[in-house]
Structure 1
């Protein structure tokens, strides 16, 4: 009680507009860092010359650093000033899933430090990326275990209410796997353990995500599409497939040199082949989910699509699938894949502009700062 009264006094000492935003700040805002970071990386890999693309990619990288820092500060202040309300997220069956966006947003910073930071700051950027990657792995494993355990023990869930947001906490580990592969590709004595850890993180996430997708298919067959406020979740299913393919391709590319350092050159060649074959298989599976997501979005457009922070779910899954497509195209030398990947990046950029503009407007008005945990508490539906 003493702590609660302290946090209320601390919150009351802030300007009203800021106190409201801190009190209602939730992890789903970190999805904006995921979408911004993946666009920066995708623009950097465009297979054709686009005026200003490289400059835009670098600007997005710096913007992403600022966003992640700001969101970390705001969410930390919420726990400090409104602790009792903030902890209700552990019991909320939807809001808690967005814990996974924090390590996934952090992973885009790790990748950005490798792609953009190393040319700018050299070894210092690589050292920072390695340190942040360790933090990212810890957060990813915690989300991948902790949130499902809460689902099993504390949270109310029904098959009819299931959406692809269930994937968010468990996908974080495979995103960390892809980041580890990118670090391993830079060489150094830690390349071999990074690749091994990457495969372990991939296995920690992808098989479980595939299991969730089976349940999601059953839910769609039995209960049809979710309500239109959850329309963007249709693209989330593409996330673990695209990241899974990208992870295999990046790990396979880094494996030959890393395994050779450990005297396992033959295993490295196998890993490279596994990356190509596995990446192609997952890419084809993702194509089905991409087509399904587009068809579902067309249905929702006819019904009317209200804007919310969930719209960031259109960006990151499309981005990682685009990166996987480009990587598969480069590895196989298939120009059709490279061209299709470039088209996906253009679509991603257009979507990012729409979502970012509407997010900025909603943040200015304050209409996007809504904590479902607080709403549930007020209605008496959330456990204390």
Structure 2
């Protein structure tokens, strides 16, 4: 069975100059932290950003919560800038490794993460960052990040599946949650694009934005449906697989929760661009599509939680795949909050709060571990040959 290990577990040997406090002690040279820096690192930006964005959608308000969420948004923005700068160094100094990531049958899928990181931080800038930098600046930043993230996401949603179809041969048990990463960005663009609709120029510009968001909704929804079916088939016929793959089961929640969010956000702004009959239909679609999809997402959450709990009891090694516990769950928070807003359901409101508490717990577990492993340099080592997946 194919396996996925995005975090190596072997230790390095520091033969070069050591940094104070034992920083990057697992690396031969401190500069090696750029050598194997993959696109999967952007999952940390996504996971941090969704903690902030989801807080802004909750149906309850707690004193200080918005301020705390804005601080987390700022952290996600700092991570995005820092990581993008590091990745530029990676491409300049280690072009061979960078190209190898793009061609790798597993790592290539995580090229969807940079697009979603841009979109997540952009949405947070408009909803939270405006408190600090003002609406005009927040809107300008969001437009730039949304445009860049959308373009990159559209490229990955076609190019990565094309590469899978034309250059790789996969075993029958190869499907895993990471296959969803390159096709989910258009759905994130659809939901975050809905936030921009009220600010778009009335007329053809606004109409085009709404229609584009619905089209991107379709791109992601149908591709995700095909892939989720393959993942279900693999789980039934080939069991869960190696422990390192277990966190990726949570990625399935990403397109589910994000599509519920997108359907309802777009339904809420459709009247600004579409004529009356279709605007009402768009709003109804948010509920009629959202509730069944939300139900399946909750069932998958229970399934993934059960598998994860069993794996933790046996041993679940830490890796960057643990960030899969954050962003996908965060989309379920935003989707649940959207459904609660349109229905007024107290049950959905309570569920949104509970899911957010789980999201916060997951982030508070993964973020410190990531920081500690990064400080040691462990996260910057190449995966050992035995752990690398075979196509």
Runs (4 or more) in structure 1 with deviation over 6 Å come to: 378-383
How far residue 367 of structure 1 moved from its aligned partner, in angstroms, is 0.6
Q: Secondary structure at the match of 1:318?
A: helix
The one of 80, 87, 90 equivalent to 1:68 is 80
Q: Does 1:193 align with 2:205?
A: no
Structure 1 match to 2:291 = 280
Distance 1:187 1:280 in 2: 29
Out of 181, 187, 195, the position equivalent to 1:168 is 181
Using the size of structure 1 for normalisation, the TM-score is 0.90
How many Å apart are 1:381 and its aligned residue? Answer: 9.4
User: Partners of 1:154 and 1:19 in 2: how far apart?
Assistant: 33
Number of equivalenced pairs: 365
Match of 1:215 in 2: 230
Give the match for residue 234 of structure 1.
249
Counterpart in 2 of 1:202?
217
1:77 equivalenced with 2:89 (yes/no): yes
Residues 173-220 of structure 1, C-alpha deviation per residue, up to 9 Å, x if partnerless? 111111111111445423322111100111111111011111111111
Q: Per the alignment, do residues 227 and 48 of structure 1 end up closer, same or farther by CA in structure 2, a change over 3 Å counting?
A: same
* Distance verdict in 2 for CA 1:116–1:380, change over 3 Å: closer
**What are the within-5 Å matches in structure 2 for residues 307-346 of structure 1?**
307-346=318-357
Give me the whole-angstrom Cα distance separating, in 2, the residues matched to 1:46 and 1:132: 24
Secondary structure at 1:152's aligned position in 2?
helix
The gaps in structure 2 that reach 5 residues or longer are 1-15, 20-27
SS, match of residue 160 in structure 1: coil
Q: Does 1:94 align with 2:109?
A: no
1:143/1:170 contact within 8 Å kept: yes
Summarize the Cα distance change of 1:382–1:317 in structure 2 as closer, same or farther, 3 Å threshold: closer
Q: Distance in 1 between matches of 2:282 and 2:113?
A: 29
Q: Unaligned 5+ residue runs, structure 1?
A: 1-11
Q: Pick one of 359, 366, 369 that aligns with 2:370.
A: 359
Q: Which residue of 2 aligns with 1:8?
A: none
Residues 382 and 285 (structure 1), Cα distance of their counterparts in 2 relative to 1, 3 Å cut: closer
Question: Aligned with 1:226: secondary structure?
Answer: coil
Distance 2:215 2:373 in 1: 40
Q: Secondary structure at the match of 1:290?
A: helix
**Secondary structure class of the residue paired with 2:181:** helix
8 Å CA contact retained: 1:91, 1:382: no
Query: Aligned equivalents of 1:182 and 1:67: distance in 2?
Result: 23
Q: Deviations over 1:214-240 (max 9, x none)?
A: 111111111000200111011111111
Provide closer, same or farther for how the CA distance between residues 311 and 380 of structure 1 changes in structure 2, counting only shifts above 3 A.
Answer: closer
Give distance in 2, aligned partners of 1:346 and 1:380.
34
SS of the equivalent of 1:368 reads helix
CA distance in 2, matches of 1:339, 1:219: 34
Taking structure 1 as reference, are residues 297 and 214 closer, same or farther at Cα in structure 2, changes over 3 Å only? same
Larger deviation, residues 112-121 vs 344-353: 112-121
Contact residue 187 and residue 258 of structure 1 kept, 8 A? no
Larger RCO, structure (CA 8 Å, separation 6 or more): 2
8 Å CA contact retained: 2:106, 2:389: no
Aligned 8 A contact 1:92 1:155 in 2: no
Q: CA RMSD in A?
A: 2.2
Deviations 1:150-190 (A, max 9, x none): 11122342221321110000111111111111111445423
Partner of 1:29 in structure 2? 41
Shift of 1:53: 1.8
**Does residue 1:142 correspond to 2:179, yes or no?**
no
